Each structure stands twice: as C-alpha cells, then as structure tokens.
Structure 1
Amino acid sequence: MDRLLQDLRYAFRGLNRSKGFTAVAIATLALGIGVNSSIFSLVNAVLLRPLPVEAPEELVNIYGRTATSSSHDSNSYPNYEDYREQTENLSGVMGYTNFFANLSVDGSSELVIGELVTEDYFGVLGVQPAAGRAFVPEEFEAPGTSPVAVLSHAFWQGRFGGEPDILGRTFRLNGLVYTVVGVAPQRFTGMFPAVAAQMWIPTSMVDEVDPFGNQRGGGTGADTRLVERGRHWLWLKGRMRPGVEVQQVRAELEGIASRLSSQYPETNELERVAVLASSDVAVNPDFDRTLAPAGMVLMGAVGLVLLVACANLANMMLARSSTRRKELAVRLALGANRGRLIRQMLTESFLLSLAGGAIAFLVAGWLSSIIAGLQPPLPIDLGLNISPDWRVLAFTLVAASVTGAVFGLVPALRASRPDLVPALKDGGDRDTGKGQRGGLRDLLVGVQGAVSLVLLVSGALLVRSLGEANRTDVGYDVDRVAYLGLAMEMNGYDGAASAVFYESGRLRLRELPQVEAVGLASRIPLSLNNNGFGVFIDGHQSSGSDEPYRVDGAQIDEGYFQALDLRLVSGRGVEPADREGGARVAVVTETMAQRYWPDREAVGQSFRTSWGGTPYQIIGVVEDYKVDTPGELPKPYIHIPLPRQSVFANFLVRTATPAPELVALLERELRTLDPELVFLETGSMRALADVRLFPIRAGAWLIGAFGALALVLAAVGLYGVIGYSVNRRVRE
C-alpha cells in the first residue's frame, strides 16, 4: 500500500510538471471514451436496460405463433384468459396493446398514445401508482362500462400541469368521458421502450378505444375482440413463482395451447405458444434480430474512434518516455527494479485514463441528449430514455481501465529497457524519433489516419446511398402529394356519418385551386403501418397447403390512382359502384400480375383470401410503385374497394404546388366540417420518404461525425506529440 501511494504521488508530480501533455491526453481520452459511452447508452436503452418494475428477471413473454411460422405474434383475449386461469407456474399473467386516441380537454383536442391493459397489468409488474390506485377487477366485468384511466407521470405534469387534485378529473377520449383514478410512478412509461405511454385504459373499453394494428386473422369486427379467439391483438407477460424456471413455464403453456388446439380446432388448430424470459427480449425476438446487428455496427464504429484515441495516448506516452531515457537509465544504473519502473509508468497511464473516463461520463450525458434529439418526423415523440445509468458508468470505467492498461503497457515496457550507455551520455534524454520507438510512433500515426479515413469514407458512402435513395423514382411525385390520416371512429363518427364526412371532405378539397386530385385509402404509401392479405392463388400453393401467401395491399376509392398519378396498364380501376355492396374485385400491380400469371392476362383471373368468402376477381393492373420504402424492389400489391361506410381512411391529395406548403390549408378546410377534428397524422409524401430514410440519414450523420472526430483526435494527438518533443528539445 505504501508503494502504491508513493507511485500515485510520483505520477501526480510527473503529470503536473507536464500540464500540456496531461491536458491533451485527458481531452483525447474523454472524447474517445465519451463517444463510446454515449452510443452504449443508446444500445443499453434499446437492448439491455430491463423494465423499471419489481424483479424483472422473474418476468416471461408469452407469444402466439402458428405451426407453420416461426414469428412471435400477439395473442387473443380468450387465449389470455385460459393461460391465466390454467397456469400453476405463473403467479399472474397480464396483457397489453398500444392505441392512439383523440383526447379533448378544456376545449382543445390532440392525439395521444396509451396502452389498453388487463386487470393484472400493474400487479404482475409490481408497479404501485404514485397517486390514486390501479384498476380493480370490477372495472373489467362488463365491456364498455368502466371509462377510467391511469395517467403517466409525465403526461400528468405536462398536459395537466401537475394538478394536485388530478384524481377524479375528467377528460374526453374519442368522445367518451373518462375519469382519472391514478398516476403512474415517474420511472414507469409502459411496455414499449421507444414510445412512452401517456395513459392506461382497461381492456374492457377496447371497443370504445379501438386500438390499431397488432391483429392477425379471423375477426369479423372490432366488437368481437374480447370473445373471439381468431383476433390476435394482445401481448402477454407473466411472472414466475419462486423457484420456477422458464423451461417449466414453457412446457406448461405448450400443454395448455395443445389442449386449446383440440378444444377449438376452428381457430386454434395451428396455434402454438412461445415463452421467453423477458430479459432475453428487447422489443420482439423477430425485431431484435435487426436491432442487435445495428447496435453492433454502431459500437464497432465508435470503437474505431476509441482506437484512434488510444493510439494517441500510446504515441504520446512513447514520446514522453523517450524524453525520459536518461532519467530511467540513471535509476536503473543505481539499482532500481525494472518492474517498479513499469508500475510507476502504468500508474501514470491509469491516472490519465481514469481522469479521461470521469470527464467521458459527463461527455456521454451531453452526447446522449443530442442523440435523443435525432428523432424521425413522426406524429408522436419517441419516449426512449437514453440517459446514462449505472451500466453506462460501469462501461465507461471498464473502457478507461482497459485503455490505461493496454495502451500504457507497451510504452512502459519499451521505456524500462533503455540502452544504458547512450542514454547516460549528455543529451541522452533527447527525443530523436529514430529507431524502434520512432518506427512504432510512425505506425501509430498511420493507424490513426487509416481509421479516420475508413470512417470518413463510410460516412461518404452512406451519404451517397441517401442521395441515390432520394433520387429514386417511387412512381409518384412525393413533393406534390399530401396526406391527411383520419380515424373517424376516434372522432366519434359511425359508418354512415363517416361516409358523409369523407364525401364532403373530398368535394371541399377538390374545389381548392391548388388541388388537382383527391383520393382515399386505408393505407398511405411509405407509411410505417402495412396491411397484409393472406391469399391463395390456384396453381401456386402446394397441394393441400393451408398457409396463404402474404401480399401487402390497401383498400382504395375511385380517386386513389389519380391522386398518385398512377397509370393503369390494363383493365379498369375501382369505381364508385364497387364500394357500395362489398364487390369482390381487385386491382393488382404489374409485378404481381407477372409473378402469378406470367403467361396469360391477369385481368379476369381470381384469388381467394384467408378470411374466406367469394374469390376476388382482378379487374385491372396498375403500374408498379413504391409502397414500403423508396429503395425497395417492385413488389406484388393488391388494391380492393374501400367500403363506403369505412370509419378509417386517409385523404391523398395531389397538388399543383409543393405539398408541404398546403398541408395546413388542407387541415383547415376539413376542420370547417368538424372544428374538433383530430388527425392521426398529416404531411407530405416527402416527409414519409424522409421517415423511411431516417436510418440511413442518421447513420450517415453519426458515422460521418465519428470520422471527423477521429480525424480531429489524430490531428490533436500528432500536434501534441510534435509539440511535446519540440518543447523538450528547446536547448538543442
């Protein structure tokens, strides 16, 4: 211990005598380690950080799946009830799904996001409300009779100003009055890490809230979701009893699923279950396969920045040790132990790295706030919390320690073996930069330049890819098409009232001189949501196959193709009469026609769907266009008539002037029909393309920034080495 304290004092004195060297070394390490820690904060928030709940290691995720698919899907409400009632290895099972809704408070309306949850939600998670109470069993007994809500802490503070008497406060959600019964703790924001829930509503109110998405197959309408096994919309978690392992839960639930398959063959014959420890899942196992490699790529990129910083440190330590050759030679000649000299120099290196690590943790917090601001242009703010926590602190300390050990060891070993006779001569402490030390320092400088160049070239290639994607012909003019997303049921409309509104809105928008065409569709091209159709095509499915092809598609009206300025290759488009009686007709893209009917005319052919009924007859073929991403290859796509009384449709408006300039005008025109109208989202197709290209844009920005930082670090390190060496040779 005495020797350690002596080494620390010696290192402090030595570094204090070389303030310039010390400052440059610490700043270099702070930037290198800080960038790594900030990206690790992002990876930690998405992939590693557990839910802020009681004993998260005891939670398991319960997924629905089919015998012919390996995907991890949601579950039906009846299946959830059976799992909850029949399991013995789980102390509780809860379900949840997200929703968007129209909130009206004090005369103003806005779009909010929340979660529909089962009665055991807060109990299974072990989350106690910060104020008020959680839901009680009585609020789940009769559908549609318990309009109550638990607010998130942030929503209570932001939207309601932190009112102390919030309990009992009322607001309107989709036109229905809800009463606040509780406020969640500040640290808890729901089950989806990237999207913070603003409120929680009982699943007994599912018909009134009507969540979008997370549904698979078999349903005949939203009003059957609580009783129909074919409707998959609920994500499940369970809490294991003490001493129970995940394998036991998996075996038990597989047995229950097997019994349900025999008991309800119409809906559950192909149903299976998958059970995973919640700690092994970040978002969804299927999505995690994409997230994890992306995280590794980012960590690899910032690892190169740290490599440059470490090479800087090693180079500067080599320069410093070469100027101390005479001092070290004298100490060795007087009998000093070589191991002691190495330990003293390593102590200096550790002090530098730990000081750099301490500042790096502060840098990581600052950079994390910048990264958090890099959000795609979405109608809601992402609630991902990437602020540093103890894992980031531990990562920073480990990175600093490894940096000090690995890149301080080589200079220490070299410096502790000087050639005594030349070193003891007058001027023996001069740094000539020749020999092995000079060669190693040249190598380190070369490594820094090469790594910086790799990062800069990678960033440039991503920028080039982004430019090519922006120039890609998507089939329509993204700068001349605006969209206005609506869910009329969310605005309190039924089917008949929705039909009147959509028709009146179309006429009103079409009268504007800046508007050339107006159409309606259930899905907006390039939007993040998609609608998959299960189709059976004669001659393509294997004999007796029960598994349909999945083909994306949308419900459209007669103005859709005109709004996007798409050309019909053959046949005709959807006509008003097709929308009246649920006509089973469809328009397909050229790629679909060529793939499934390559040697004959597609018009007049038919296909069946997984929801049964009369086959759909193809009445037209439209040119290919991009529906998911700007850079995708042409794909099969199906268009079927949008029912006249649909409560969910989006306006697509082709404009004569740039669409972004007209979005506000279009909103105002529709609000003349309903002043309290709330949109799901509005914007131009250019904005949707930007959302789709956001990963490339963010990647180009980050990789380019890392490359620039690496180049700056290399330049600073080189300047520091040269400056230090010149300063030590002033006498010469």
Structure 2
Amino acid sequence: MTHFFADLRYAARQLMRQPGFTLVALLTLALGIGANTAMFSVVNGTMLAPLPYPDAGRLVRVWETTPEGHRFSVSEPNFLDFHDRSEQFESLAAMKDVSLTFVDGGQAARIPGLAVSREFFSVLGHSPIAGREFTSEEDQPGSAADVVVLGHDLWQRRFGGDRDLVGRTIRVEGRARTVVGVMGPDFGLLDSEYWVPLAADPASDRGDHWLAMIGRLRPRATLQQAEAELQRIAEGIGLQHPTLAGWGVEMMPFSRWLVRDSFRTTAVLLLGAVAFVLLMACVNLANLVFARASRRQGELGLRLALGAGRGRLVRQLLVEAVLLCGLGLGLGIALAYWGVLALQAFGSGFIPRLESVRIDGTVMAFAVGIGLVTVVLFGLLPALRISGLDLNATLRQGGRTGERGDQRRVRDALVVVQIAMAMLLLVGAGLLLRSFWQLQSTDPGFDAGNVVYAEIQLGDDYAEPWQKVVFFRELIADLSSRPGIASAGATVITPFSGSNLMNDVTPVDRAESIGAQGFMQAAWRTATPDAFETLGLPLIEGRLYDYTDRWDGPRVAVITRTMAERMWPDRPAVGQEFYWGSNTGEPLRVIGVVDDLRDVEMSSDVQPVMFLPYHHMPWPKMTLLVRGSGQVDSIARLVQSRVRALDESLPVPAVASLQDQVASVAAGPRFRTFLMASFACLALLLAAVGIYGVMAYNVSQRTREVGLRMALGAAPASISGMLLRRGAVLTILGTLIGLLGAWAITRLIQGVLFATEPLDPAATATAAFVLALTALTACWLPARRAARIHPTEALRHE
C-alpha cells in the first residue's frame, strides 16, 4: 500500500503538470461513462427491473385475432367462454376503459378508470390495503353493484387519505357508489385511478369486441400450451357462431406487452450507440496515452536503467489510468443523474415504466463495471505495450523521443476503428433522421390547423339516444354561430389517441359467396354531419350525409377512397350496399366517398374507414372539434362556457389543439432521432479529435524531415500533400469498414424506420461525406501548420 499511495501521489502530480491532457481525458471519460450509465438506467428500469406484480413471469396479455390476423379486443361472451373452459390459467380477467365523473372530494371532475371482472386483482396478485375486492355477486350481469375500489393517488388527492371512507358512499356519475376498497401506492395498470365491476354479459353481442383480457398461468403451464388451448376454444366458438369463423387468439408476456418491441429495439439501438461512444472515448484516450508515454520514453528508460522492473512501470502507468478513470467515473455518474432527470422530464409518453428509471444500486454497479472496462481499454493495454520498450535503444537516443513502427501501426489502427464506428453511428442517425422526416411529411388526410378538440362524455342523464343527439346538435349549432368560429362537429375517435373502432364489412352482392365471417375489416366512426367540413375531408364523389337523412330512414354511410377501392375495385362505390357487423339484416348504402385519412397511427398503412351519421348511432363519448380563427385559449374558454351553459352538471372539458395532437405522433421518433444524432455528433467529434491527434503527433515526429525537404527545395503544397496522404488513407479505410458494418447492423433497426430502407442511399452518402469532410479537415490543419514552419526552425527541432 505504501508503494501504491506513492504511485498515486506521483500520478496526481503528473496529471496536474499536463492540465490540457487531463481536462480532455476527464471530459471524454465523463461523456462516455455518463451517457452509457443514463441509457443503461432506462434499459434497467423499463426492461430488466421486475414488474410490480408477484410472479410477473406468469402474467400474459390475450387478444382475439381477426381472420386477417390482426389483434383485436375480446367480446364479453367470448371472454366468459375462455374463462370457463380454460385449464392452463390460474385466473383470467377482463377490463375496459371507463371515464366517470366524481363529485365527492372536490369539484366535479371526469377521471379515467377501468371496469374489471372480479378476478382482476387476483390475476395481478394484489389486494387492497383497506377494505376488499369485488365479490362474485357484485359482478353479475344486469345487476352490477354500485361499488368502487379507489386507487391510492385518487384516495389521497380527492379524499385526503381518509381511512374511514371504506364502507361509505360517494357520488360518482350522478349516483351513489359504495367504496369497498383502496389499493396500495404500488398498484396500477393503464393509468387507471379506480375500478368498478365489469359484469360481463353472456347474452351480449359476440361481435362487440370491447374488452382487454389478461391472465395468470398455472405454475407449470407454458405460454405455448395456454395459447394452443385458447386457440382450440376460439375454433369451437367459430363452429358455434359462424360470424366468428376464422378468429383466433394471440398471447404475449406482460413484460413484452407493457414495453413494446419497438421501444425495446430503440433502447437496444441507443444503448449500442452509447457503447460505441464509450469505446471511441477509450480509443481516443489510448491514443493520448500512447502519445504521452512516447514522450516519456526517456524517463521510462532511465527508471528501467536505475533498476525499476517492467511490472513497476506497468503499475505506475496503470495507477495513473485508475486515478483518471475514477475522476471521470464521478463526473460521469453526475452527468448520468442529470441525464435521467432530463429523460423523465421529456420522455413522458414514449418511455414506458418511466417511474422505474433511476440511478440505483444496479446502475451504479454497471457504472463501476464500465469504469473498470475503461481502465483496461485505455490504461492497461497501452501500459503493457509501452513498457516493452528497448532499454538500449532508448538510452542510445540520449533522451530523444521517437515512435517505433509497431506503435505507429497500433495508433493508425485505433484511428481506423474510430472512423468506422463514427460511420456506423452517422449512418444510423441519418436513417432515423430520414425516417423522421418521412413521418413528419406524411399527410394525415385532414387539416388540423386552427382546430381544437375536447372530449365530452354524457352521463346517465342522457340515457335516451335522442338526448345525446340533441345535446351535440345544440352545442355545435351554438358554437358555429359564434364570431371567429368557422365550423364545429364531433366524431367518436380523438385522432391519434390510440383508440380505434373496427368491424366486419361485406358487399351485399358477395355475401353468399363470402360466408358469415365477412369480406374484410374496416374502421368505423360515428360523426356529426359538420365533422367533415371541420376536419377538411374532401369529398371525392357522391354527397355527405346531413340531418335530412332521418334516423328512421334508410341506413347510409360515407366511406374513404381505400375502402371503396377494396370493396368495389371495378365500379363506382356510390349507390353500392354492404353489410356491417354481420351478413344479414338491413345493409348500409354508400352515398359518398371522401379522401383517405390517418387518425390512429401515422406510420401505418392507410386503413379503410366508414363514417356513420351520429343521429343514426348516438354515442355517449364524443370528441368535439372546433375550427376557429382565434387563439386556442380563447376558443377553449368559449367551448367550456357553452358546455356549462347547456349542462352545468358536466365536468369542464379540457380543450387542446388538434395540430399539437397530430404533432405528438412524432414525439417519440423525434426524441429517438435527437438522442441518436447527439451520439453521432459526439462520435464525429471524437473521431476528428482522434485523427487530429494522430496527424499532429505524426507532424511533430517528422518535423526534422519536413525541414530537410523544404531546405532541399520542396514546395509547401507538396509537404502538405505528403502529410495528408496518411490521414486520407486512414479515413478511406475506416469509412469502408464502417459501411460494411452499417450494411450488417442497420437491418436490425428496420423495425423503427418509417418509409426508409436500411442503408438508404441518401442517408449513407450524406454520412460518408460528413465523415470524410470532418476527418480530412482534422488532417489538413496539422499538415498546413507543418508546411508553414521555417526550415531553420524545423532542422533545430527536437
């Protein structure tokens, strides 16, 4: 330990003597370790940390699948059949979103929750911290009890954490509900703040797929066994009910459902990018250590001559590396802490399980681990290499420094590696940037400019269909008559909210040949007649429906271009009839065709969509759309005041810009592209510093040669060209290796690209050009400086 502390003091003095080297090394280490630690904290919190449910490995998410293979929600009768017939599950539960108005505990507010079957809590392995769960009697169809289980946050926020609340009644949606339980602070799913009984009805329509289904496997059951069992049950349902023939089942573990594959790919991609940045930082530091140690050959040779063993030299150089890395590790962890805070501030909405992302013991252990790896990469290996210097040759030089050929080749190889890795990151960033640009330039099919939206849900006071129709018709007419309001309308789906409504559609003239399972699936929207003008959906042929299309008259629909082309590719769609939901009953007549729109996912293919008159199919929850010329705040106040004027018992709706909602679709890709571009710029900077260092050191070693050539008449341009050739060869070689690596690796990120192919020519060419320009500039600066040295000064140089 005495020798160690002596080496440590000597190392500290050496680092303080060279503040430039120390500062560059510390910043390089801090950036590399900090970025890696921050990204690992995201991977650890979202993908590696256990889910907050006991035995979470046995939890699965279950979907029904359409005959085309698309995932779909589960109908109530099908859920009950799966629940009663399956044997591979310890328990199965279903849930659906609800949004109820809470009056107790403060001002009336609409709060999101879930209607769940009674086994919901046992599936997730949690019990209330106060009270109880639902009983089977409270979850019976037709007689669902007016009970509620509150989430911990809602209990604290609106009811002050009153433990005597259990057993008492509160006002929810205009009626009394008994609070039977309160869940703990660590329980939650899908941002729900309370739970009410689902009361699934076996007599309801099997075509109404509304439910999300989750299950807990038996201890010895496998995912494949359980999926095969539910598939057999689905096939049996299809035999009993021909409209469901061809429907199947798909399952996945909870961990994969909560953290989607696209995010996993993104997280692994970014973690790989920061690992490259760290490796480049180590390569840069190794080059700096090589150059620094080469200048210290006289000192090292003298120490060898005085009896120091090679192990002693290695230890000394390694202690310097450990000290430097320890300081860099401390700075890196501080940067990682601030990086995690930034991710939590800006990553909400597209980083799942964000609350689990933190700098904990696991992350600290990871940081220390990469610190040790860093010591080996930039400290131990160069120390071992340099300690093998030839004592006789060093002493014969009389203290003059030089670089052996093998050392030069190692430094050149390190620069090539840096350039290759920078090329990989630049190509990846270029692909993501092009993908983001493609996403940004994709037309949703409607005009979101100057449009605000507000979600309005009518309660039990609007039980009759005509009451819903009258409310929205009066509200829309009132708003449309106001100054500064161009138009207003309502539709059942908030664009890009993640919600979608789909059903089977079949042309009437092909119903007999198609069969009961239907011709295809199409999205459907119930909308007021004014919604088309408000959204700016252009009419292609036919007409739009209006209030003259009486609710008791013929059933009509307006469809999109894609739906028309798929249903009737060889003839006009207007005037055609099709069945909706089944191949029997009264068909719908197409009266108009509008242009395509995207309102679910911007990055997916255009889906067929049909619009139904709202006065034919009233819906309790609608999205109000208002197009105006004023500011969002002024239109929001107008909308809220008019809603209160019509019904003061309704909660004040939140009003937001539809243009902002459309822009939010690109928030995740924008964040991912920004991070990748940042890492690529850092890699480019490290590569430039690396090649600049090599060229500057090469110039310093060849200064006497340069002076001799210039004394013999060599022109400055020829001197610059001679020195540039080495950098150009390294740049070309590194770029080619990087392109080969990009060809192999970029295919792994294909899943997160939109309308962009791996190794897109424009992105690849741009990356190569930027890298070559940066690298050659880094080569040119030392060469230019060498060409300006006076021959006399060069010949005297040591």
Q: TM-score range by the shorter chain?
A: 0.7 to 0.9
Q: How has the CA–CA distance of structure 1 residues 643 and 401 changed in structure 2, closer, same or farther, with 3 Å as cutoff? A: farther
Q: Which residue in the other structure is 1:558 paired with?
A: 529
CA deviation after TM superposition for structure 1 residue 505, in Å? 0.3
User: Which residue, 538, 542, 546 being the options, matches 1:571?
Assistant: 542
Q: Does 1:28 align with 2:35?
A: no
Q: Which residue in the other structure is 1:506 paired with?
A: 476
Q: Secondary structure, in 3 states, of the residue corresponding to 1:504?
A: helix
1:56 is matched by which residue type in structure 2?
A
Q: Which residue in the other structure is 2:274 paired with?
A: 302
Q: How has the CA–CA distance of structure 1 residues 290 and 461 changed in structure 2, closer, same or farther, with 3 Å as cutoff? A: closer
**Which runs of no fewer than 5 residues in structure 1 stay unpaired?**
207-223, 726-730
Segment of structure 1 superposing worse, 635-644 or 455-464: 455-464
Q: Which residue in the other structure is 1:54 paired with?
A: 54
Q: Does 1:478 align with 2:477?
A: no
1:304 is matched by which residue type in structure 2?
F
Q: Does 1:283 align with 2:253?
A: no
CA deviation after TM superposition for structure 1 residue 233, in Å? 3.6
Q: Which residue in the other structure is 2:619 paired with?
A: 646
1:310 is matched by which residue type in structure 2?
C
> For the residues of structure 2 that align with 1:228 and 1:538, how far apart are their CA atoms?
22
Q: How has the CA–CA distance of structure 1 residues 623 and 237 changed in structure 2, closer, same or farther, with 3 Å as cutoff? A: closer
Q: Which structure's CA Rg is the greater one?
A: 2
> For the residues of structure 1 that align with 2:158 and 2:689, how far apart are their CA atoms?
48
Q: Secondary structure, in 3 states, of the residue corresponding to 1:486?
A: strand
> For the residues of structure 2 that align with 1:629 and 1:102, how far apart are their CA atoms?
29
> For the residues of structure 1 that align with 2:29 and 2:462, how far apart are their CA atoms?
58
User: Which residue, 390, 407, 427 being the options, matches 1:419?
Assistant: 390
**Contact 1:101–1:490 (CA under 8 A) maintained in structure 2:** no
> For the residues of structure 2 that align with 1:172 and 1:600, how far apart are their CA atoms?
56
**Contact 1:354–1:401 (CA under 8 A) maintained in structure 2:** no
CA deviation after TM superposition for structure 1 residue 407, in Å? 3.9
Amino-acid identity (%) = 34
Q: How has the CA–CA distance of structure 1 residues 169 and 405 changed in structure 2, closer, same or farther, with 3 Å as cutoff? A: farther
Q: Which residue in the other structure is 2:12 paired with?
A: 16
Q: How has the CA–CA distance of structure 1 residues 258 and 558 changed in structure 2, closer, same or farther, with 3 Å as cutoff? A: closer
Of structures 1 and 2, the one with the larger relative CO (CA 8 A, separation 6+) is: 1
Matches within 5 A, 1:55-70: 55-57=55-57, 59-61=58-60, 63-66=62-65, 68-70=67-69
Q: Secondary structure, in 3 states, of the residue corresponding to 1:154?
A: helix
CA deviation after TM superposition for structure 1 residue 523, in Å? 2.7
CA deviation after TM superposition for structure 1 residue 498, in Å? 1.6
Q: Which residue in the other structure is 1:180 paired with?
A: 179
Q: Which residue in the other structure is 1:216 paired with?
A: none
CA deviation after TM superposition for structure 1 residue 509, in Å? 0.1
> For the residues of structure 2 that align with 1:113 and 1:724, how far apart are their CA atoms?
65
Q: Which residue in the other structure is 1:609 paired with?
A: 580
> For the residues of structure 1 that align with 2:125 and 2:10, how far apart are their CA atoms?
54
**Contact 1:590–1:624 (CA under 8 A) maintained in structure 2:** yes
Q: Which residue in the other structure is 1:197 paired with?
A: 192
**Contact 2:61–2:254 (CA under 8 A) maintained in structure 1:** no
CA deviation after TM superposition for structure 1 residue 501, in Å? 1.2
Q: Which residue in the other structure is 2:707 paired with?
A: none
> For the residues of structure 1 that align with 2:2 and 2:125, how far apart are their CA atoms?
51
Q: Secondary structure, in 3 states, of the residue corresponding to 1:576?
A: coil
CA deviation after TM superposition for structure 1 residue 308, in Å? 3.2
Q: Which residue in the other structure is 2:139 paired with?
A: 140
Q: Give CA deviations for 1:327-346 in whole Å, capped at 9, x if unaligned.
A: 54455557766567556655
Q: Which residue in the other structure is 1:584 paired with?
A: 555
CA deviation after TM superposition for structure 1 residue 573, in Å? 0.8
Matches within 5 A, 1:215-614: 224=201, 229-247=206-224, 249-250=226-227, 253=230, 264-266=240-242, 269-279=245-255, 281-283=256-258, 288-330=260-302, 338=310, 342=314, 345-346=317-318, 349=321, 352-353=324-325, 356-357=328-329, 359-375=331-347, 384-424=355-395, 428=399, 430=401, 437=407, 440-441=410-411, 444=414, 474-489=444-459, 494-537=464-507, 544=514, 546=517, 548-578=519-549, 580-581=551-552, 583-612=554-583, 613-614=585-586
**TM-score using structure 2 length:** 0.74
> For the residues of structure 2 that align with 1:469 and 1:261, how far apart are their CA atoms?
39
Q: Give CA deviations for 1:302-357 in whole Å, capped at 9, x if unaligned.
A: 33332333233323332443344345445555776656755665565456546644
**Contact 2:170–2:178 (CA under 8 A) maintained in structure 1:** yes
Q: Secondary structure, in 3 states, of the residue corresponding to 1:403?
A: helix
> For the residues of structure 2 that align with 1:685 and 1:454, how far apart are their CA atoms?
38
2:484 is matched by which residue type in structure 1?
Q
2:476 is matched by which residue type in structure 1?
R
Q: Which residue in the other structure is 2:731 paired with?
A: none
**Which runs of no fewer than 5 residues in structure 2 stay unpaired?**
699-796
> For the residues of structure 2 that align with 1:23 and 1:540, how far apart are their CA atoms?
76
> For the residues of structure 2 that align with 1:244 and 1:598, how far apart are their CA atoms?
48
Q: How has the CA–CA distance of structure 1 residues 383 and 427 changed in structure 2, closer, same or farther, with 3 Å as cutoff? A: same
Segment of structure 1 superposing worse, 302-311 or 130-139: 130-139
CA deviation after TM superposition for structure 1 residue 188, in Å? 2.6
1:688 is matched by which residue type in structure 2?
Q
> For the residues of structure 2 that align with 1:476 and 1:71, how far apart are their CA atoms?
25
Q: Give CA deviations for 1:277-322 in whole Å, capped at 9, x if unaligned.
A: 445x2438xxx34333233332233333323332333233324433
**Contact 2:152–2:183 (CA under 8 A) maintained in structure 1:** yes
Q: How has the CA–CA distance of structure 1 residues 74 and 654 changed in structure 2, closer, same or farther, with 3 Å as cutoff? A: closer
Q: Which residue in the other structure is 2:773 paired with?
A: none
Q: How has the CA–CA distance of structure 1 residues 326 and 243 changed in structure 2, closer, same or farther, with 3 Å as cutoff? A: farther
Q: Which residue in the other structure is 1:689 paired with?
A: 662
CA deviation after TM superposition for structure 1 residue 243, in Å? 4.7
Aligned length: 693
**Contact 1:110–1:678 (CA under 8 A) maintained in structure 2:** yes
> For the residues of structure 2 that align with 1:577 and 1:619, how far apart are their CA atoms?
13
2:452 is matched by which residue type in structure 1?
A
Q: Which residue in the other structure is 2:43 paired with?
A: 43
Q: How has the CA–CA distance of structure 1 residues 140 and 635 changed in structure 2, closer, same or farther, with 3 Å as cutoff? A: closer
Q: Secondary structure, in 3 states, of the residue corresponding to 2:108?
A: strand
CA deviation after TM superposition for structure 1 residue 413, in Å? 3.2
Matches within 5 A, 1:80-91: 80-91=79-90
CA deviation after TM superposition for structure 1 residue 694, in Å? 1.5
Q: Does 1:620 align with 2:616?
A: no
> For the residues of structure 1 that align with 2:461 and 2:23, how far apart are their CA atoms?
61
Q: Which residue in the other structure is 2:148 paired with?
A: 149
Matches within 5 A, 1:106-117: 106-117=105-116
2:679 is matched by which residue type in structure 1?
F
RMSD: 4.3
CA deviation after TM superposition for structure 1 residue 516, in Å? 1.5
> For the residues of structure 2 that align with 1:539 and 1:12, how far apart are their CA atoms?
88
Segment of structure 1 superposing worse, 545-554 or 691-700: 545-554
> For the residues of structure 1 that align with 2:550 and 2:410, how far apart are their CA atoms?
76
Q: How has the CA–CA distance of structure 1 residues 104 and 75 changed in structure 2, closer, same or farther, with 3 Å as cutoff? A: same
1:38 is matched by which residue type in structure 2?
A
Q: Which residue in the other structure is 1:100 paired with?
A: 99
> For the residues of structure 1 that align with 2:180 and 2:572, how far apart are their CA atoms?
61
Q: Secondary structure, in 3 states, of the residue corresponding to 2:574?
A: coil
Q: Secondary structure, in 3 states, of the residue corresponding to 2:593?
A: strand
Segment of structure 1 superposing worse, 11-20 or 479-488: 11-20
Q: Give CA deviations for 1:630-682 in whole Å, capped at 9, x if unaligned.
A: 67776543222223543233222222345565233222222221234336753
In proportion to residue count, which structure has more helix? 2
1:111 is matched by which residue type in structure 2?
R
Q: Secondary structure, in 3 states, of the residue corresponding to 2:384?
A: helix
Q: Secondary structure, in 3 states, of the residue corresponding to 1:105?
A: coil
Q: Secondary structure, in 3 states, of the residue corresponding to 2:627?
A: strand
**TM-score using structure 1 length:** 0.80
